Structure 1
Amino acid sequence: MVVLEVLVLVLLPQAVCQLAPLRCISSDPLPLHQKYQSGDLLVGGILSQTFYFLSETKFEERPSPKLYFDLVYFRSGTILLASLELLSTKDQFFPNYKCDARNKVIAVIGGPNSDVGMNMATILSLYKMPQLTYGSALIKDGDIQGEFFYQLFPDVALQYEGILQLLLHFRWMWTGLLYLDDDNGDRFVQNFIPKFYESGICFDFIKTFPPSTFTDISIHMEKWIEMSKVLMSSTANALIVAGEIQTTTIFRMMLQYSQVEGVSLKTKVWIMTAQMDLATFIFPDMSDTDFFHGSLLFATHSKELQGFRTFLQTRNSALANEDGFSRVFWKHTFDCSFPASKVDNMGSKICTGEEKLETLPSSVFELSLTSQSYSIYNAVYVVAHALHGIYLSISKQRGKTEEGRWNILNLQPWQFHQFLRRVSFNNSVGEKVSFDENGSLAAGYDIINWVGFPNQSFLKVRVGKIDPQAPTEKMLMIREDAIAWPWRFNQAQPLSQCNDNCALGSSKAKKEGKPFCCFDCQPCPEGKISNHTDMDDCTPCPQDQYANEGQDACLPKGISFLSYEEPLGISLAVLALFFSFLTVLVLGIFMKHQDTPIVKANNRNLTYTLLVSLLLSFLCAFLFIGEPQKISCFLQQTAFRVIFSVAVSCMLAKTIIVVLSFMTTKPSSRMRTWLGNRLTASIVLSCSFIQAIICTAWLATFPPFPYFDMYSETENIVLECNEGSTVMFYSVLTFMGILAFVSFTVAFLARRLPDSFNEAKFITFSMFLFCNVWLCFVPTYLSTKGKYKVAVEIFSILASAAGVLICIFSPKCYIIVMRPELNKRGKLMRKTY
């Protein structure tokens, strides 16, 4: 039987392997022994015991080849040395000389950070060696290196988009960023921070980690303390920490030393990237699990492997003779030793190998499978499936021949890539493992809630995930009720904003000199609302709605018009009826006493015409009261203006007749021929006709119409009659004003004529009152809104018409009714000096 051992080397530091804790899969309990057998050929069967764990500590027992790894520095030199040893014969450092065909390195699994991968690539990419990384994503140096990388780490852009969606979900618009000053950190800041700003998230600070070396801690303490003050003085409650696995220890030590120096540590919600591992507590006595309680961690998606916990619980390190690292870990963790001889047994506790890992705090050793261990597990299976693909391909082409077997032994690394690219399978827990077009694992991220306990143990609770297949707005899935928040927030979701929320009814106003997340709150202007907190701007209500008193909701507007059901409408209607009745009463008195001298003296026909026009003027008020209709709007302005023009024309005719009467005292005067009904009719008809022509042109071009005024009143839609043409409206009003002014002027000039029949002084006073009413009407009308505008017009109509009625007819009615003895020709003809 020919057995081929294919070595897949995994470069792991001590901190990652156990203290991180990543599982050291160094013997046979995992279901990794799937054998691909055809005849006497066994390919990929012996993949166990091929993991070389590299550590800063120099082990007493170490498998070959002897590879070293600097725990803290991740020195490039040690990685380059390890890479060169992989190109040498086992136990002999001669790069480019491989004499051991049975220990052929076909692929390398590296991690846990990007520096390890990049240093590996410096040497291994020259030989086109397949390199699988389980740690943070790499910044690939052109297409050459990228061709040989297979990342068991999802696309890092997906993680940063997930952090953004997480901040938006919890409305943490005010945050801070502490990141590692390396290529990945710079890529985060340059490429993704602008997207955070575009989404409305701003930063209190963006700082880089202090130096992460242990050469001389005192040199860095001042910078650590300064950085801790920045973190603790921040008003943001949710802070982002983006680093590598080694920065976790630096981060914790920085906070611990700062506390010793008097810096007060405030509880924050730490949002950590998947490249970090919060369980990496290299110094267990410093593992302040309470400080990180409630943190949210991103992790590569993983599932618990069946049998993994049982394997760890039954692990006997004393039997792992070929695994030097496990023994070292066992000695340091359980404070015992594995003596090389009986002499070494004196004075120290002996490691029996029966010590139980489950007795250790989870901060020292975690029994559940971590995401990085899950990635390594998948990486090994990726290699196994690719080898199986090669075997099937050769067997299919050449059959089960000796030539085919030697083709596998002579397989060159570059020939392995086409099979790795096409790998796609379901692992033992049923999850699909494959690579995307960029060589990254086609998977998402888990969101872990880190729950700490006073006994230094902790629990990782999966509370959500980032689904790469979902749309951007739905890629985040999270269970808020499963999250344990830091103690300071009393299990309530913390806020992380520059200032308090703007309440309903107010909006944000930018603070000068502050980031856009910092703002003042100002009340919404009239007619606008904000029905959510922290609105950037108030939104106007629809035209048929208005803002409530708190300006946080829109209410439907009512329909408003001057109706008969409200006190104002009833009062004006009663007043119009009263003056109409009074006008009818006066008309009746005059008609009853039409043959008396005082009725005859002032042109009886003009008096009747004047009284009828006044009556119609009072009745015109009813066209303005009630719901506006098309007919009422059509007649409102024009009917009233024409009727009132007739009334004013009658008074003008009366005054002109008085003046002409004194100018024709001689019997031979030619002016006498103008006296009589023909003159008065000509004056009244001509003046009224001009007004009628203007009104007809108005109705023919831009007639008034019912109109819903949405803006005059806040809480109501005003139903009114729109004038149609403002020019025509003021034209008829101007003509009526001119007519009244001419009548007033003529009457004023004729007021002192010595005649008992002269009523010019009464016309003067009535026209004076008329002009004052309508002069006051214009500014009042323009400054009034809604139904009160209509009320102003009705009041002006009633006041001006009532002034004419009272000033002209009250003295005559007094004589006719109360002093009939004066209503005689002899009394009226008597001169009064």
Structure 2
Amino acid sequence: GFDEYFTSRSLENNRRNLWFHEFWEDDFNCRLPHGTAPHGDPAGAPGTPVRKCTGRERIGRDSPYEQEGKVQFVIDAVLAMAHGLHSMLGEACPGGGLCAHMDPPDGRRLLTHIRRVAFNGSAGTPVSFNENGDAPGRYDIFQFQGGNGTGAYRAVGQWVQGLHLQEDAMAWGSNSSSPPPSVCSLPCGPGERKKPVKGVPCCWHCELCGGYQYRADLFTCLPCASHLRPTPNRTRCRHTPVLRSAGPPCAAVPLALATLGLMATAFVLATFVRHHETPIVKASGRELSYVLLAGIALVYAITFLMVAEPGVGVCALRRLFLGMGMSLTYAALLTKTNRIYRIFEQGKRSVTPPRFISPTSQLVITFTLSGLQLVAAATWLLVRPPHALIDYEMGRTPDPEAARGVLRCDMAEGATLACLAYALLLMLTCTVYAVKARGVPETFNEAKPIGFAMYTTCVVWLAFGPIFFGAAQSAERVRRGLWVQTATLTVSMSLSASVPLGLLYAPKVYVILLHPERNQPKRR
């Protein structure tokens, strides 16, 4: 209606508007007689258009026309006033017409009626007022969509006594279809604590509870007890699993070597017993040979104790026999080597044989030397009874998921080496005598094999040290290092037992079984 009315205005039908002439000259860029030039320049001044207004120009036809955006509010205001007056007139003058109560109208009373009006305005939208006299807010909501110079605003909703959005019409960038969060800080996830931002009470940073900590409350992380580890989401603590023995992959090689070694030892022992009265068995010193075989068998057998699940009995047997087999083996070898060396040295000076070279003397010396190991181990058992314990510190890794408690005997690396220290001392002493006896004539047929056996054994134990202590420092100790230590120890012991078994007994068994003609007493 307003557009039709305004575009129909002309110089002839709108003379009452004193400023309409100026609008006409400005809108059509022309000059009326006795008027002012557009933009306020006097007629004839520079910039004055030459064309004169004819009066037949029409708004919207000869000039562009677009309604001012606020016109509808002016129309609605006039309509609100009219509806208020009409309501007040109906109340003050029931009989119709203008009565004395409306001449003049009471302004406060009129305001009350205006606040109560409700009608559809010029744009078809409801017009009303709240208790404060304000019109309800009505807003069109636009979102700028697009980019790179081609974007435009697009209507995506309205505010009419509340927000009404067309979410499917909204766009949030090329990579997301959901609106960005409009919060200062997002809620912390599981296992994260809130660290408040100084000076901003409603904002915080989320910090993950690290290491072996769990989230006790929204703001606190606490460490789990030594035997516990946090759950993957760090909301509570749980028990740490316990490794009770070496797994099959770790124990397979040591057990295989020990089994083969025991079978070979049993075969050699059976061969010697069967050919007990033959010259080769007699010449090798039957009594010490059997003692040496017993020591070798004990060395092989300790592997089964080392890979077994720790308990009081297993821990006690480990203390007793970890060094006992090696002590018995090297005590017998030391006694043999010392006997050969003394016989050779005595022969250089006199034809009188040295003392303590009889089989009985040799056995007494051997059992005395190895008995010291047994006495020390028994004393240790009495002073400090053995027990098994679960070591959670040994199995604690940087990643709590990989942490394990380790069931082990109360023997650390130092205690293990203490069990072997005396046996290693006997081994070194035997090696010294083997070096001294290297010039013994060939008739002393065991001197050189014993020497080779001791040299090889020293190499084995020299290689044992770096691997054993290197595994102790392994970052994956719980999964790898501990069992590498056990495997290294048992394999080294099996190899050290296999050396004398192979160098001292294999040649004799070979002759006894395959060349019996060389195992016959010589006829005089």
Per the TM superposition, whether the score is higher than 0.5 is yes
1:568 to 250, 254, 263: 250
1:806 to 502, 514, 517: 502
Are 1:345 and 2:130 an aligned pair? Answer: no
- What is the CA distance between 1:455 and its match in structure 2? 4.8
- What is the CA distance between 1:699 and its match in structure 2? 0.9
1:695 to 377, 388, 393: 377
Are 1:739 and 2:457 an aligned pair? Answer: no
Partner of 2:212: 527
Structure-2 separation of matches of 1:517 and 1:352: 49
Conservation of the 8 A alpha-carbon contact between 1:507 and 1:537: yes
Conservation of the 8 A alpha-carbon contact between 1:579 and 1:802: yes
- What is the CA distance between 1:790 and its match in structure 2? 3.7
Structure 1 pair 343/720, CA: closer, same or farther in 2 (3 Å)? Answer: closer
Partner of 2:390: 708
Partner of 2:325: 643
Partner of 2:68: none
Structure-2 separation of matches of 1:506 and 1:608: 68
Structure-2 separation of matches of 1:793 and 1:347: 115
1:632 to 292, 296, 314: 314
- What is the CA distance between 1:607 and its match in structure 2? 1.1
Structure 1 pair 667/775, CA: closer, same or farther in 2 (3 Å)? Answer: same
Structure-1 separation of matches of 2:430 and 2:510: 25
Are 1:719 and 2:407 an aligned pair? Answer: yes
SS at match of 1:751: helix
For each residue in 1:47-106, what CA deviation from the matched residue of structure 2 results, as whole angstroms up to 9, or x when unmatched?
xxxxxxxxxxxxxxxxxxxxxxxxxxxxxxxxxxxxxxxxxxxxxxxxxxxxxxxxxxxx
1:558 to 241, 256, 265: 241
1:764 to 428, 434, 454: 454
- What is the CA distance between 1:711 and its match in structure 2? 3.0
Conservation of the 8 A alpha-carbon contact between 1:528 and 1:551: yes
> Which residue identity does 1:720 align to in structure 2?
R
Partner of 2:275: 593
Identity of aligned residues (%): 20
SS at match of 2:335: helix
1:749 to 433, 436, 441: 436
SS at match of 1:707: strand
Structure-2 separation of matches of 1:811 and 1:505: 68
Alignment of 1:407-556 (within 5 A): 454-455=137-138, 496-497=183-184, 500=186, 502-505=188-191, 524-530=209-215, 536=219, 538-547=221-230, 554-556=237-239
> Which residue identity does 2:323 align to in structure 1?
R
Structure-1 separation of matches of 2:442 and 2:265: 26
For each residue in 1:447-483, what CA deviation from the matched residue of structure 2 results, as whole angstroms up to 9, or x when unmatched?
xxxxx97459xxxxxxxxxxxxxxxxxxxxxxxxxxx
Structure-1 separation of matches of 2:136 and 2:378: 92
Q: Return the TM-score normalized by structure 2.
A: 0.58
Conservation of the 8 A alpha-carbon contact between 1:694 and 1:732: no
Conservation of the 8 A alpha-carbon contact between 1:597 and 1:825: yes
Partner of 1:189: none
Conservation of the 8 A alpha-carbon contact between 1:709 and 1:720: yes
Conservation of the 8 A alpha-carbon contact between 2:308 and 2:314: no
> Which residue identity does 2:509 align to in structure 1?
C
Report which of the two structures shows the higher radius of gyration computed on alpha carbons: 2
Structure-1 separation of matches of 2:315 and 2:108: 110
- What is the CA distance between 1:722 and its match in structure 2? 1.5
> Which residue identity does 1:719 align to in structure 2?
L
> Which residue identity does 1:732 align to in structure 2?
C
SS at match of 2:394: coil
- What is the CA distance between 1:638 and its match in structure 2? 2.0
Structure 1 pair 800/764, CA: closer, same or farther in 2 (3 Å)? Answer: closer
Unaligned 5+ segments in structure 1 are 1-284, 286-329, 367-451, 457-483, 827-833
- What is the CA distance between 1:495 and its match in structure 2? 6.5
Structure-1 separation of matches of 2:137 and 2:102: 37
Conservation of the 8 A alpha-carbon contact between 2:468 and 2:489: no
Structure 1 pair 655/503, CA: closer, same or farther in 2 (3 Å)? Answer: same
1:621 to 286, 291, 303: 303
> Which residue identity does 1:808 align to in structure 2?
L
For each residue in 1:168-226, what CA deviation from the matched residue of structure 2 results, as whole angstroms up to 9, or x when unmatched?
xxxxxxxxxxxxxxxxxxxxxxxxxxxxxxxxxxxxxxxxxxxxxxxxxxxxxxxxxxx
Conservation of the 8 A alpha-carbon contact between 2:257 and 2:491: no
SS at match of 1:750: helix
Structure-1 separation of matches of 2:235 and 2:329: 54
> Which residue identity does 1:663 align to in structure 2?
E
Aligned CA RMSD, in angstroms, stands at 4.5
For each residue in 1:5-50, what CA deviation from the matched residue of structure 2 results, as whole angstroms up to 9, or x when unmatched?
xxxxxxxxxxxxxxxxxxxxxxxxxxxxxxxxxxxxxxxxxxxxxx
Structure 1 pair 744/667, CA: closer, same or farther in 2 (3 Å)? Answer: closer
Structure 1 pair 823/495, CA: closer, same or farther in 2 (3 Å)? Answer: farther
Structure-1 separation of matches of 2:331 and 2:187: 69
Structure-2 separation of matches of 1:348 and 1:666: 152
> Which residue identity does 1:612 align to in structure 2?
A
Alignment of 1:355-366 (within 5 A): 355=113, 361-362=129-130, 364=132
Partner of 2:346: 664
> Which residue identity does 2:435 align to in structure 1?
F
Structure richer in helix, relative to its length: 2
Conservation of the 8 A alpha-carbon contact between 1:766 and 1:804: no
Q: Return the TM-score normalized by structure 1.
A: 0.39
Structure 1 pair 546/343, CA: closer, same or farther in 2 (3 Å)? Answer: closer
Conservation of the 8 A alpha-carbon contact between 1:740 and 1:770: no
Structure-1 separation of matches of 2:500 and 2:470: 21
Alignment of 1:325-336 (within 5 A): none
Structure-1 separation of matches of 2:254 and 2:505: 22
Conservation of the 8 A alpha-carbon contact between 1:781 and 1:793: no
Structure-2 separation of matches of 1:772 and 1:509: 55
Conservation of the 8 A alpha-carbon contact between 1:765 and 1:807: no
SS at match of 2:407: strand
